[in-house]
Amino acid sequence: MSNELTTNPVRSFSSLREWLTAPVPTSALQANAQQLRRSWLKLLSNTSAVFGLVVIVLLVLVALFAPYIATHDIGTNDLANRLQRPSWAHYFGTDELGRDIFSRLVFGSRITLYIVTLTAIIAAPIGLIVGTTAGYIGGWVDTALMRIVDIFLAFPSLVLALSFAAALGPGIENAVIAISLAAWPPIARLARAETLTIRSSDYVAAIRLQGASTMRVIAKHVVPMCIPSVVIRITLNMSSIILTAAGLGFLGLGAQPPSPEWGAMLSSGREFMMTSWWLAAVPGCAILLASLAFNLLGDGLRDILDPRNG
């Protein structure tokens, strides 16, 4: 790229624009950059996807700068100010122990993003590896792996996560493992379906004729082609991961008190819903907004990355 752009600093921006809008790319780097630019512009034209992206970015920033955004110490009890209504002193009111709900909500975003990110890191590679291996090799390997997937898919994801969480015991790490075990089978099935189409293509046949091994074909040529679909699927699954994590926290199988996890906050606030509605409404709205944002962004990414959408 540096050889194709002008070295004059004054004209660097205009040259970059011309380089990105050239009708015929002259290198793979330029073609990839132009494709990335088109994808970004297409994302910006999708209002709902932009809204989801903005909410997610704000959520990440809140999690990163939580100590500077929070207005009170989340671990300090103040029984004299328990169950205070939302006010300028406590933006979202206080809970049954007098703790500031706004500050706990801010720090709770860290736990939510931690669970979502770690689950995606665990579930996506497992599903991708299992699906591509089963789809490309076929035969008894495909049958064995897909029967395992079918066993996992026979149970609702929330029920499956609850079962694993109950067996592993309460805690954030165990909740992440339980959610990951319930999240990878749909990804594996999607990756297998993509692989069945890819393995019959001409370029894969040419690679095999050149003597490439099965593992090399899968790792170098099949997996990269499946990644866009997996990214779309895992993004759309973020909302269910958030809801499942909140459900585990609500039932006492996720983050444990006094951790400011949104599901645990919702659980403690349900006892005061008739008199102090904000205890349950605030974390409930946070869960809803985060889940909606990931769903909207996932829909936008599907429109961009899915080749069947043009």
- Give the span between the Cα atoms of 233 and 190, in whole angstroms: 8
Q: What is the pLDDT of residues 236-259, one digit of tens each?
A: 888 888 888 888 888 888 877 788
- Angle at the Cα of 168 from the Cα atoms of 188 and 143, rounded to 5 degrees: 25
Strand partners, 100: 94
Higher-confidence position of 191 and 214: 191
Token readout for 169 is 């015991």
Q: Is the pLDDT of residue 308 over 60?
A: no
Higher-confidence position of 256 and 122: 122
- Give the span between the Cα atoms of 116 and 102, in whole angstroms: 21
| Of 100, 63, 57, 106, the residue nearest 78 (C-alpha) | 100
Class of domain 52-309: mainly alpha
Residue ranges of alpha helices (H) inside 21-155 are 28-44, 47-64, 66-69, 101-137, 139-153
Q: What is the pLDDT of residues 45-67, one digit of tens each?
A: 888 889 999 999 999 999 999 99
Please state the domain extents for the chain: 52-309
Distance from chain centroid for Cα 155: 22
